[in-house]
Structure 1
Amino acid sequence: MRLLNCKSLAFEEFVQNVPRYAILSHTWGDEEVTFDAMKSGAPVSQLKGHEKISATCRIAQEQGLDYAWIDTCCIDKSSSSELSEAINSMFAWYRGAAVCYAWLSDYAQDPAFSLTDDAVLASFALRESITELDRGFSDPPPLTYKELDVRNHIGESLKRCRWFSRGWTLQELIAPKHVEFYDRDWNRFGSKTQLAHILSWITGIDSGVLKGGPLDQVLVGRRMSWAANRQTRRVEDMAYCLLGIFDINMPLLYGENEKAFTRLQEEIIRSSNDLSIFAWTATLGDKRSFRSLWASSPNEFKSCQFLVKPTLEWNVRGEYSITSRGLRTRDMIRIVRGGASRKGSYFLPLDCVDARLKKDIRFVSLEQYGPSLFARRKPWLYDTVVDIEVSQASRLPLAQYICCRESPDLEAMVRSSHVGSVQIEFSLSAFDETSITVQPETDWDLRNSILLSYLRRHFWGCWRIRTMSDEPGVCVVCVQSDGWLQYGIFPWHDLPAAMDQSDLLPSQIAAILERLPVRTSARCPPWYHTVQISEHELGGGSDGITGTLLQIKSRKIDETQDGRTKVKTRLRQLFNKQTWP
């Protein structure tokens, strides 16, 4: 670690036994004094940036410290390896400092107003405690006129400082144990501990964290929300400035732009089991219907400021990992079978709740678009589900993959996956819809009851469903081959043995169906079932796309027109009709 000697203004390097040092937190301006300028021996005292160096060293010496670290001059930015090491170590360097001086170059104290006034501090502390007590039950009492005046004053002065809007200063506020704040004239106006509740109001950071509480106990999504609305000069730095907040180390690749933030999220997932990283919502200007799991920037975490862990965790059995296909999950994606608004919906519970609504579990709504492949749907929604619904929802037991690669073609891929697909409808009066099973399971979109084609010329499906009575149900089989659809319906116990396999090829299914003379109806006392076929506009992510609709019509045998004889006559008529090509 390279430190600046406060007396000689010479650099000294330490590998071990680093002495106590002060560290500066500031916003960069014009004429900063760099490492090269200091080493060259050129006169730097006339540069504007020299003032902060001399002031830092002066105050440090007054406090009995012989060394200081200032990012403008203590890093050789011409060395990419040194820059990478410094950025990856910066959180630790700020945490290890004896004291951090936060210099707000655009803030001037008001002689008539003190931030450390007991009444001001007590007002913010009391208001925070009231909000915590009332959270989830009722709205806190309104602010008094005096409280409004205080907040307006701080909002018009301190809150507007550039220091609170920069990305790098976030970790510089959180990491050090001791932070002293100085105005533009280097007059001290408070410490982080003193101003914790005011700083929490300005930044959204938990006052407990500002007072030294454990950072790793705060959910990832909530920590991300602290960086919302902050900026950095380079796009990549918006990710690099957060490395220490999440205890992540990764190489710097300037030129990768937004991919840096994607890499950061991937590293967080690899080192954490915190699903709140997926709790973001798209910004207002983003109208895409489908997205990957990754947020594009910290700004999309604005709605995560109050996230906390739920009373019960819902994904204890589940597991996930990053793969080349996306986020691989098992026993985590749920299917809501109850409630008309979400019937058949795929969702991923995120094991986090808004502290104000502790029964509502955050989740990500998903759309299937490939064999075991899912994308996030309607990413602009703040989606929650009541905890009891999560416990009642069934899980997808097979390995599933959720898209983690953002692509301008993702929406087209999701929609085109439904072209030529087959949607099926069963009579709700005759069948138990919750009993349906499908082969191949990976091709079945339960949310919309669609057998997905994924633009394949050849595919097949087999549905098994029980009746509402105690009698076994039916099996419906269809195969698509070069635009030609064949189908059949069979009583459960009469399904040809050759079809009762999951690894069949579409050509094998087609060959079996061609050898069967009758396949458009099935007599399963007390029910008689027929298949009706038509073109149909598919739902879900395939709005405007036409597919094939198989409708299973059912009626009681004893309700036919003139008894058993009339039924046989009607069956013969149906059998003689030309089947759907």
Structure 2
Amino acid sequence: MRLLNCKSLTFEEFVRDIPRYAILSHTWGDEEVSLDDMKNGAIDCKLRGREKISATCRIAQEQGLDYAWIDTCCIDKSSSAELSEAINSMFAWYRNAAVCYAWLSDYVQDPAFNLTDEAVLASFESRELITEQDRAFSDPPPLTSKELDIRNHVGQSLKKCRWFSRGWTLQELIAPKHVEFYDRDWRCFGSKMQLAHILSWITGIDSDVLKGGSLDQVLVGRRMSWAANRQTRRVEDMAYCLLGIFDINMPLLYGEGEKAFTRLQEEIIQSSNDLSIFAWTAALGDKRSFRSLWASSPSEFKSCQFLVKPTLEWNGRGEYSITSRGLRTMDMIRIVRGGASRKGSYFLPLDCVDARVKKDIRFVSLEQYGPSLFARRKPWLYDTVVDIEVSQASRLPLAQYICCRESPDLEAMVRASHVGSVQIGFSLEAFDETSITAQPETDWDLRNSILLSYRRRHFWGCWRIKTMSDEPGVCVVCVQSDGWLLYGIFPGDDLPSVMNQSDLLPSQIVAMLQKFPVRTAARCPPWYHTVELSEHELGGGSDGITGTLLRIKSRKIDEIKDGRTKVKARLQKLFKNKTWA
């Protein structure tokens, strides 16, 4: 670690036994003094940056400290190795400092308003207590005129400071045990401990964390929300400035752009099973229907400010890993019964709740686009335990994979997975729609009763559904092979038991179907079912994706008999009344 000697203004290197030092937190401006400038005697020149170096060293010496660390001049930025080491170590350096001086270059104290006044501090502390106790979405008591005046004053002065909008100063506020705040003229106006509740109101950071509480007890999504309104000069720095807050180390690759934030999220999920990292919501202007699991930036975590762990974990939190196919998980669920809009839908429970409504565990809605492959649906919304009727949910027995690679082709790829698919149509009067089962399970979109093709030349499916009566129901079997479709409908107990396997090949299904002489009708008293094939547009025609429709037509046998009897009687009457020439 390279420290600046406050007396001699020279640098000294330390590997072990690092002495007590002060550290500066500030926002960069023009004419900053670099390491080379210092070595060349720039402290005596007229660069603006020399004033903050002089002031830091002066105050440190007044407090009995001989060394200081300032990011502008204590890092050799021409060395990529040293820069990478410094950024990966910076959180620890701020945490281990004896004191941190936070210099707000655009803040001027108002002599008539003291931030550390007991009435001002009590106003923020009491309001925070009210918010913590209010666990419903009911409106808290309105602010009094005095509270409004205080917040207006703080909002128009301190809150507008550039220091609160920069990415790097987030960790510089959280990491140090002791932070002193200085205005433009280097006059101290309070410490982090004194101003904790005001700083919490400005930044959204929990006051307990500002007072030294553990970061590990704060959900990942909530920590991300602290950076939602901050910016950095370089896109990559928006990820790098958060490394210490998540206790992550990773190499720096300037030039990778938003991929840096994706890499950060990957590192987090590989070291933690905290799924609140997926609780983000896209901006309302994002018109995409499908996204990967990763957020594009911390700004998408704005809705995560109040996330906490649920009182009871819903799914026990399994293991998660990043693979070439996506996030591997065995915690996905599917709604097997319930409303038509939810039945057959897939979800990933995130095991986090809004602190104001603790029962509403959040879920991510997913769309299948390949065998065991899923993408995130409706990225601008999230679902809760109340929305999806988890009492009707079942856990998927096999590992599934959720897309982690953001691509402009993702939406087209999800929609293309339906091209050439087979949809089953049936009468709700005859069938119990809550009884649907299908094989292979990974190929069926039960929400829409569609056997997904994934644009394959060869695939097959077996679809079972019970009727409203006591009979076993029907099975519909279809197989696509080299452009032609073979299908059949059978009573539920007529198919061979081998058909219960999901690993059968399309050729095996063809061989089985060809053994049945009748494949387009099934007599299942009291119903008689027939199946017809036609081309139609899937999804109501809104996507322009065409597929095959297998329409099941069901009539009661008694009605068929009655119809035949009536036709026979009409014919007999016609011939009886006919006068032959």
Shorter-normalised TM range: over 0.9
Post-superposition Cα deviations, 1:476-534, rounded to whole Å, max 9, x if no partner, equal: 10112233222101122221466454333223323443443211111122332221333
Confirm or deny: 8 A CA contact 2:235 2:258 kept in the other structure: yes
Q: Does 1:503 align with 2:506?
A: no
Post-superposition Cα deviations, 1:157-196, rounded to whole Å, max 9, x if no partner, equal: 1111110000000000000011000000000001111111
Q: Which letter maps to 2:152?
A: N
Q: Does 1:525 align with 2:525?
A: yes
Map 1:308-347 onto structure 2 (within 5 A). 308-316=308-316, 318-335=318-335, 337-347=337-347
Q: Secondary structure at the match of 2:385?
A: strand
Q: Secondary structure at the match of 2:561?
A: coil
Q: Secondary structure at the match of 2:293?
A: coil
Q: Does 1:254 align with 2:254?
A: yes
Calculate the aligned-residue CA RMSD, in Å: 2.1
The 1-side partners of 2:318 and 2:338 are apart by: 22
Per mean C-alpha deviation after superposition, the further-off stretch among 556-565 and 80-89 is 556-565
Q: Secondary structure at the match of 2:320?
A: strand
Per mean C-alpha deviation after superposition, the further-off stretch among 550-559 and 538-547 is 538-547
Post-superposition Cα deviations, 1:446-467, rounded to whole Å, max 9, x if no partner, equal: 2221100111122211112334
Confirm or deny: 8 A CA contact 1:415 1:542 kept in the other structure: no
The 2-side partners of 1:566 and 1:436 are apart by: 36
Q: Secondary structure at the match of 1:493?
A: coil
The 2-side partners of 1:431 and 1:449 are apart by: 13
Tell me the equivalent position of 1:404: 404
Q: Which letter maps to 1:281?
A: T
Confirm or deny: 8 A CA contact 2:332 2:346 kept in the other structure: no
Confirm or deny: 8 A CA contact 1:33 1:44 kept in the other structure: no
Q: Secondary structure at the match of 1:160?
A: coil
The 1-side partners of 2:553 and 2:254 are apart by: 62
The 1-side partners of 2:296 and 2:270 are apart by: 18
CA gap of 1:121–1:531, structure 2 versus 1, over 3 A, is same
Q: Does 1:222 align with 2:222?
A: yes
Report % sequence identity.
89
Map 1:172-251 onto structure 2 (within 5 A). 172-251=172-251
TM-score, structure 1 length as denominator?
0.93
Confirm or deny: 8 A CA contact 2:334 2:344 kept in the other structure: no
Confirm or deny: 8 A CA contact 1:335 1:396 kept in the other structure: no
CA gap of 1:451–1:354, structure 2 versus 1, over 3 A, is same
Q: Which letter maps to 2:554?
A: S
Map 1:99-138 onto structure 2 (within 5 A). 99-136=99-136, 138=138
Tell me the equivalent position of 2:494: 494
CA gap of 1:440–1:487, structure 2 versus 1, over 3 A, is same
The 1-side partners of 2:108 and 2:67 are apart by: 27
Per mean C-alpha deviation after superposition, the further-off stretch among 267-276 and 453-462 is 453-462
Post-superposition Cα deviations, 1:130-149, rounded to whole Å, max 9, x if no partner, equal: 11112316210111122111
CA gap of 1:279–1:331, structure 2 versus 1, over 3 A, is closer
Tell me the equivalent position of 2:85: 85
Per mean C-alpha deviation after superposition, the further-off stretch among 216-225 and 377-386 is 377-386
CA gap of 1:35–1:58, structure 2 versus 1, over 3 A, is same
Q: Which letter maps to 1:346?
A: Y
Tell me the equivalent position of 1:54: 54
Map 1:324-403 onto structure 2 (within 5 A). 324-335=324-335, 337-386=337-386, 389-403=389-403
Q: Does 1:2 align with 2:2?
A: yes
Q: Secondary structure at the match of 2:88?
A: helix
Tell me the equivalent position of 1:156: 156
Per mean C-alpha deviation after superposition, the further-off stretch among 48-57 and 134-143 is 134-143
The 2-side partners of 1:103 and 1:154 are apart by: 17
Per mean C-alpha deviation after superposition, the further-off stretch among 554-563 and 518-527 is 554-563
Runs (4+) off by over 6 Å? 563-567
Q: Which letter maps to 1:313?
A: E
Q: Which letter maps to 1:282?
A: A
Confirm or deny: 8 A CA contact 1:5 1:67 kept in the other structure: yes
Post-superposition Cα deviations, 1:25-46, rounded to whole Å, max 9, x if no partner, equal: 0000111111111123455442
The 2-side partners of 1:358 and 1:127 are apart by: 21
CA gap of 1:566–1:476, structure 2 versus 1, over 3 A, is farther
Tell me the equivalent position of 2:575: none
The 2-side partners of 1:128 and 1:541 are apart by: 51
The 1-side partners of 2:27 and 2:136 are apart by: 38
Q: Which letter maps to 2:101?
A: Y
Tell me the equivalent position of 1:292: 292
Tell me the equivalent position of 2:572: none
Post-superposition Cα deviations, 1:31-77, rounded to whole Å, max 9, x if no partner, equal: 11111111234554421101111111111111111111111111111
Post-superposition Cα deviations, 1:209-243, rounded to whole Å, max 9, x if no partner, equal: 11111111111011001001211111100000000
The 2-side partners of 1:112 and 1:541 are apart by: 67
Confirm or deny: 8 A CA contact 1:359 1:387 kept in the other structure: no
Per mean C-alpha deviation after superposition, the further-off stretch among 442-451 and 513-522 is 513-522
Q: Which letter maps to 1:516?
A: F
Per mean C-alpha deviation after superposition, the further-off stretch among 118-127 and 382-391 is 382-391
The 2-side partners of 1:505 and 1:565 are apart by: 46
Confirm or deny: 8 A CA contact 1:337 1:345 kept in the other structure: no
Confirm or deny: 8 A CA contact 2:372 2:399 kept in the other structure: yes
Q: Which letter maps to 1:352?
A: C
- Unpaired stretches in structure 1, ≥5 consecutive residues: 568-581
Confirm or deny: 8 A CA contact 1:448 1:540 kept in the other structure: no
Q: Secondary structure at the match of 1:59?
A: helix
Post-superposition Cα deviations, 1:290-316, rounded to whole Å, max 9, x if no partner, equal: 100000000010111111111221121
Q: Does 1:473 align with 2:473?
A: yes
1:317 shift after superposition? 5.7
Tell me the equivalent position of 1:272: 272
1:546 shift after superposition? 1.9
Confirm or deny: 8 A CA contact 2:335 2:392 kept in the other structure: no
TM-score, structure 2 length as denominator?
0.93
1:412 shift after superposition? 0.5
Q: Does 1:558 align with 2:554?
A: no
Confirm or deny: 8 A CA contact 2:35 2:72 kept in the other structure: yes
